[in-house]
Structure 1
Amino acid sequence: MKILKTFGERYPISAFLILCFGFTWSIWFTVPFFAGSDWSLGRIYVGAGFGPALAAIFMNQLCGHGADIGSKKWLLWFSAFFALLFGLYFSILLTGDGITAEKLSQARPAGISVTGILGVIVSAVIGSFVIASLAVSRSKALSSVSEWRVSIKWWLIALLLPSVWMMLGVLMASMTGEKIQAEAVEHNLELQTWVLYTARSILLTFLVVAIGEEAGWRAWMLPRLQQRFSPLLSSVFIGIAWGLWHFPLFVIGQYSDPPEMVFAKAGACIMLGIVFTWLYNRTGGNLLMVVLLHTAMNSSPRFVPFSEQMGVFLILSLICMIVFDRMWRKSRIQL
């Protein structure tokens, strides 16, 4: 343990990335062994592999300013979210799942099995461990996941910015006669089924995906990079790591694109990472706000059709953020 602590103190970024990639990839590359070709069952096991948050928690524990794991407050958080996550994951065994509502209508329930129950328990345990450890952490950056007392304007930006980009893109596409990709919002599900599916998807995105990623990339790695580099350059570094981190999902079939598309993913993560950095810095390092933005990014396509023109407004936003905040200048960041 002393060797690990010494390495973590001397090379914190390297230690974080080794833990982050090591944990995630060791879980995700074994998903086919447990789930086979069942996408829904694979989705459950993928939920156990969000290494960025786990790496951040481990690094803070190593340095002595992490959470009081096992305390009464920690157990309350853990118990509440274990029950919620167990229920959400268990419902996937009963209904199946899909990346869009249309895919869900074609999905088959994974059914109750030893493998399925094991996946539900493991993913629920890891997810609730992450949430509890962040919420009671002695690190202000990590515990801000429960800090909701933020100006209403940041709530609106975090929740609505992706939808605004998409709606403006649809408007431009309709004016120019370009194609609008409405597949993600089209479905033949009953309204009640669609509402329940969408609610489950948003909850899992918020509790597992967004918290599991943002606690590591933004709340832990970003402040440390900004001690040495500008917000813009820090965003580029994180974007590359963030994009490449997704590589196993292309290989195991959770993403339908071929593995080489991970480089396009990295490019997208660099651009989006600038937005996340801007919001994180503007809110004084509030983890909850970037978690909400991440959730909105992933969930908005379920409500608003996608068009390539959306990219125009994303790029315009990036230019404004970079120029008006002078993101090429080094910031004074306190950990």
Structure 2
Amino acid sequence: MAITSSKYTLPIYVLLTFLISWSLWFTSGIFSRPAPAEIRDFPWFIAQLGVFMPSILALLFFSLSGNQKRKVSLAAIFLIFIPVVLLGAWIAAAAPDKILHLNSLHAIIVIIVALWVMVFFSSLNPCQKDLGLEPQSSLKRTGWILLSLLFLPALFLISWVLASFSGGVFTATVLTGNVTKVLWSIILLFAFNLLCAGALGEEIGWRGFVLPRLLEKSSPLRASFILAVIWASWHLPIDIRYGFGLTGAGGIVVRFLWTWPLTIIFTWFYLRSKKSLLVPLLLHASINMLSDFGFSNYEQTISVMFLIQIPVAIILGFRLSGKLPFDSSK
């Protein structure tokens, strides 16, 4: 029996992902630091290898499946992850203290590699159908790609305005300066966050491997809740050490509360885009990059954004639960 068809495949995958990711994080030495450091040095690089594990292990499991997934999985490992890992090591050797302090050559290559990743996981690559991509009109697919880029940043900006009313302070350090500088900063932050801040490292695993297997036996809503538990639990060492909104046990609770509505939103986008892996990649990168913009009232904004996400997730959850017929073609 192929490993990916066994009933034990998902538990084995989750166990290995947690074990290898956590081992790399602990051995990297980053938890000895008083706070998550901006510096991208070799401890960061080792920890980053742990961040890549959900996706890399998913591709390795696919490569053992004995079907059409093998070809595209091996291609992704050799054409995407090996170049990204080498790029990460190169950046770590320079040890920039901020993403926007990357030298010009590093920055240009980061952007080029990010573009290549987006092309590889888009419908422009016919092999994506072997990872679950279903047919969809070009107009609809383009619409979902654009929406996945803009939806969470738009939600954040609305929350930022609401959170900033009381203090009256509206500042974002990255958005100051001439237009060329601002656009360059946004593109570079997005590209780096796509490659090295969770999006590429996680989404092929969570949405590309785990979610489809959960959907075989569960409704999309139930699958989203299970996936949210896995996704949030994977962050446990980070949240125990540094907190997430709160410190200690409170940070763990906040992580789970934050992840549940977000997972429902990701599931909705993934299914409506006909299982495009590019869409969750863009969603993940677009929300992660916001912490690098230097927004005033950032923590208050995230709290407001969470409150807005709850009714959004409830509405989408009814569609995903089966209480209302879910048709991804609509």
TM-score normalized by the length of structure 2: 0.71
Distance (whole Å) between structure 2 residues aligned to residue 148 and residue 207 of structure 1: 28
2:220 corresponds to which residue?
A: 231
The one-letter code of the counterpart of 1:320 is I
Find the counterpart in structure 2 of residue 21 from structure 1: 18
- Residue 36 of structure 1 and its aligned partner are, at CA, apart by 6.7
Change (3 A) 1:52 1:27: same
Q: Does 1:313 align with 2:313?
A: no
2:257 counterpart letter in structure 1? G
Q: What secondary structure does 1:151 align onto? A: helix
Q: Residue 332 and residue 12 in structure 1: after superposition, are their counterparts in 2 closer, same or farther (change >3 A)?
A: farther
Deviation of the 1:10 alpha carbon: 2.7
**Change beyond 3 A, Cα 1:245–1:327:** farther
Determine if contact 1:275/1:321 at 8 Å carries over to the other structure.
Answer: yes
The aligned residue for residue 63 of structure 1 is 65
Residue 148 to residue 224, structure 1, CA distance change in 2 (3 Å): same
Whole-Å separation in 2 of the counterparts to 1:70 and 1:266: 30
**Of the candidates 173, 184, 205, which is equivalent to residue 186 of structure 1?**
173
1:322 corresponding residue in structure 2: 317
1:34–1:164 Cα change, 3 Å: closer
Provide the secondary structure at the position in 2 that maps to 1:10: coil
CA distance in 2, matches of 1:90, 1:253: 27
Alpha carbons of structure 1 residues 12 and 207: separation in structure 2 relative to 1, 3 Å: same
**Residue in 2 that maps onto 1:48:** 49
Paired position in structure 2 for 1:123: none
Q: What one-letter code is carried by the residue in structure 2 that aligns with 1:277?
A: T
Contact 1:162/1:296 (8 A) holds in 2: yes
- Output the amino acid matched with 2:61: M
Q: Please show how residues 95-134 of structure 1 align to structure 2 within 5 Å.
A: 96-98=96-98
Q: Note the alpha carbon deviations across 1:130-185, whole angstroms, 9 max, x for none.
A: 999989997736375xx9955232122201111221222233335xx4358878x3
Q: Label 1:255 to 1:91 Cα distance change in 2 as closer, same or farther (>3 A).
A: farther
The answer to whether the 8 Å contact 1:235/1:277 transfers is: yes
Distance 1:200 1:31, change over 3 A: farther
**Partners of 2:175 and 2:266 in 1: CA distance:** 34
Is the 8 Å Cα contact of residues 54 and 203 (structure 2) preserved in structure 1? yes
For 1:171 and 1:277, locate their aligned partners in 2 and report how far apart those are by CA, in whole Å. 27
Listed as ranges, the gaps of 5+ residues in structure 1 are: 110-126
- Post-superposition Cα deviations, 1:255-310, rounded to whole Å, max 9, x if no partner, equal 79645323321221111100001111111111101110111111234446542322
Letter in 2 for 1:19: L
Per the alignment, do residues 91 and 12 of structure 1 end up closer, same or farther by CA in structure 2, a change over 3 Å counting? closer
Query: What is the CA–CA distance in structure 2 between the aligned matches of 1:274 and 1:325, rounded to whole Å?
Result: 8
Give the gaps of 5 or more residues in structure 2.
Answer: 103-113
Displacement of 1:16: 1.4
Instruction: Give the direction of change, closer, same or farther, for the CA distance of 1:23–1:212 in structure 2 (3 Å limit).
Output: same
> Cα deviation per residue 1:15-72 (whole Å; 9 max; x = unaligned)?
111121122112111110899779322332222112211221122122213434898x
User: Which position in structure 1 is the counterpart of 2:29?
Assistant: 32
**Aligned residues of 2:30 and 2:47 also touching (Cα < 8 A):** no
| Cα contact 2:243–2:252 (8 A) shared by 1 | no
Go from structure 1 to structure 2 and tell me whether the alpha carbon gap of 1:167 and 1:27 turns closer, same or farther (over 3 Å shift).
Answer: same
Q: Is the 8 A contact 2:3 2:61 kept in 1?
A: no
Q: CA RMSD in A?
A: 4.4
> Which of 191, 195, 200 is the matching residue for 1:203?
191
- Name the counterpart of 2:7: 10
1:330, 1:231 → 2: CA distance? 11
Q: Which of 260, 265, 287 pairs up with 1:297?
A: 287
The structure-2 alpha-carbon separation of the partners of 1:64 and 1:200, relative to structure 1 and needing over 3 Å to count, comes to: same
Residue 193 of structure 1 and its aligned partner are, at CA, apart by 8.4
- What's the counterpart of residue 108 of structure 2? none
1:58 partner SS: helix
Structure 2 match to 1:219: 208
Aligned-partner Cα distance in 2 for 1:309–1:70: 39
